[in-house]
Amino acid sequence: MEQKNNTLLIYTLLYFAFLYVPVLFLPLFSFNDGNYMSFPLTGFTTEHYEEMWSKSNLHNALWASIKVGVVASIVSTTIALFAAKAFARYKFRGQNISYGAIMMPFLIPEIILAVSLLIIWLALGFKLGLVPVTLGHILFCTPFAMLILIARIEGFDFSLEEASRDLGENAWGTFFRVSLPLYLPGIIASLLLSFIISFDEFVLAFFLTGSDATLPMYMWAQMRFVQKLPHVLALGAVIIVFTTLIVLLAFWLRNLGQGKKKAEFGINIHE
């Protein structure tokens, strides 16, 4: 038994090392006083971080990413909320097919999604820019938002909504006074994760941005110049920290109150 546990421990450690050691090189070299990602380190500097304050291109790209991310996360979470409610609450004809259809962008290679959006967008005679990127991100984020919200809404006691109707509230009143507050942790988790997915997304942005770069596009452009590499590393390190914090927050919110809820309510059985 002891032997087996050790093997598993070693496996686990290797697994995490494989996942995270490469990522840790980013912050490491971002503090290195040199242009190349190689050992030995030549000296400690925060110059690459300081540089970020002065780059207006970077600021524009950051602002573009935030705009796209905010709109995409709100729209995809809204769409996903309606869909998740329908899937969790009702049984209807074509349920599996429509579920599959919404999840499809998950499975289609992103580049194909990007190319087809590009073709349609140009064929319709529109200009490339942040609008098509946002639309692409909505499409791409919705399945993620759906997964989070379905997990939250499944097991929801729908007799609470019936109770609200019974107590004189109409459908809107019920939504705002009962459903929304109870779904809220899931909705916030979905907003945060959708935002992060949009914020980090590269392929769709690459095809659809035109001249307004998003942050990943900006980084990609910088990478072509060797002397800009440390700057990209510093930016990458900041993004990793920021992303990790948001994802942790999202998961914490998603699970908030859920263990308690399951113990508290039985499943509502109608004859």
Partner 1 sequence: MNSSFIQINEISKHFGSVRAVDNVSFQIHEGEFFSLLGPSGCGKTTLLRLLAGFEYPTTGNLLLDGIDITSLPPDKRPTNMVFQNYAIFPHINVEKNIQFGLRKLGLSKEQIEKRVKDVLSLVKLEGYEERFSSQLSGGQRQRVALARALVRQPKVLLLDEPLGALDKKLRDEMQLELRSLQKEIGITFVFVTHDQQEAISMSDRVAVMSEGKIQQLSAPNELYKNPQNIFVSDFIGETNFLKASTKTQDGEYINVSIENLGEFKIKNNLNISENSFDVVCSIRPEAMKIDTVKSDWDICLEGKIRQTSYLGEMTKFYVETKELEKIITVSSQHFDNQSFKNNDCFISISLEDISLLDKK
Find the shortest distance in angstroms from Cβ 172 to partner 1.
11
Contact flag: residue 261 with partner 1 (CB under 8 A) = yes
- The continuous run of DSSP H or E covering 145 comes out as helix 130-153
Contact flag: residue 264 with partner 1 (CB under 8 A) = yes
From the list 149, 178, 213, 239, which residue makes contact with partner 1 (rule: CB under 8 A)? 178
CA angle centred on 51, ends 47 and 57, rounded to 5°: 160
Q: How many CB atoms lie within 10 A of CB 246?
A: 16
Using DSSP's 3-state secondary structure scheme, residue 194 falls into: helix
Contact flag: residue 181 with partner 1 (CB under 8 A) = yes
Contact flag: residue 270 with partner 1 (CB under 8 A) = yes
Find the shortest distance in angstroms from Cβ 267 to partner 1.
8
Contact flag: residue 89 with partner 1 (CB under 8 A) = no
Residue with token string 């980090």: 200
Find the shortest distance in angstroms from Cβ 253 to partner 1.
15
Contact flag: residue 16 with partner 1 (CB under 8 A) = no
Stretch 118-177 residues interacting with partner 1 (CB under 8 A): 157, 159-160, 162-170, 177
Stretch 192-211 residues interacting with partner 1 (CB under 8 A): none
Choose between 63 and 265: whose C-beta lies nearer to partner 1. Answer: 265
Contact flag: residue 248 with partner 1 (CB under 8 A) = no
Choose between 6 and 258: whose C-beta lies nearer to partner 1. Answer: 258
Q: What is the DSSP track for 79-144?
A: HHHHHHHHHHH---TTHHHHHHHHHHHHHS-HHHHHHHHHHHHHHTTPPPSHHHHHHHHHHHHHHH
Choose between 2 and 264: whose C-beta lies nearer to partner 1. Answer: 264
Using DSSP's 3-state secondary structure scheme, residue 44 falls into: strand
CA 264 to chain centre: 31
- For the record, the structure tokens of 40 come out as 């030995």
Find the shortest distance in angstroms from Cβ 92 to partner 1.
12
- For the record, the structure tokens of 33 come out as 């006083």
Could you give the C-alpha distances from 153 to 86, 95, 124, 143, 265, in angstroms and in order?
Answer: 10, 16, 38, 15, 14
Contact flag: residue 182 with partner 1 (CB under 8 A) = yes
Find the shortest distance in angstroms from Cβ 29 to partner 1.
48
Give the whole-angstrom CA distance, residue 123 versus residue 115.
Answer: 12
Binding site for partner 1 (CB under 8 A): 157, 159-160, 162-170, 177-178, 181-182, 260-261, 264-266, 268-271
